[in-house]
Amino acid sequence: MLARTVSCYQSRITNFQSRTMTDTIFGKIIRREIPATIVYEDDEVLGFQDIAPQAPVHVLFIPKQHAIPTLDDVPPEQALLVGQLAIAAAAYARAQGLAQDGYRIVMNCREHAGQTVFHIHLHLLAGAPLGRFGTP
């Protein structure tokens, strides 16, 4: 059963990778084809300011090498990727002095959750009290 599930993931990722890195706005930002205010970068992750911020600080963190559309599409062998996004966001929050007052990290999965770019990414929101979470 696990082998069949992994095979299914691999097939979905392969099909997605063949079109996504060139198709999404995030792929263009990674390749520096369109401008973005980049605030964090390491070997695996790129962080840049959201163009429609929902808080005083709103930064998106994306994987640079992996074109995975949603959290549901992350194959088991690439699970570390999700952790790398979270670690990058936390490092940025500490470096910017946001950690003491607090920050929120969010990953939307599909349209009903608010995902609009189908290249896995994490939102960091901070800079003001954010209030309760989870009510539409």
Cβ atoms of residues 58 and 92 within 8 Å: no
Q: Taking Cα atoms as reference points, which of 104, 101, 115 lies closest to residue 58? A: 104
* 121 is an active site residue: yes
Phi then psi for 70, rounded to 5 degrees?
Answer: -140, 170
Output the six-digit token pair for 35: 């401008």
Catalytic residue of the set 58, 112, 119, 121:
121
3-state secondary structure of 121: coil
In 1-136, where do the E strands start and end? 38-41, 45-49, 57-63, 103-106, 122-126
Residue of 48, 71, 26 whose CA lies nearest to 124: 48
Q: Which of the residues are catalytic?
A: 121
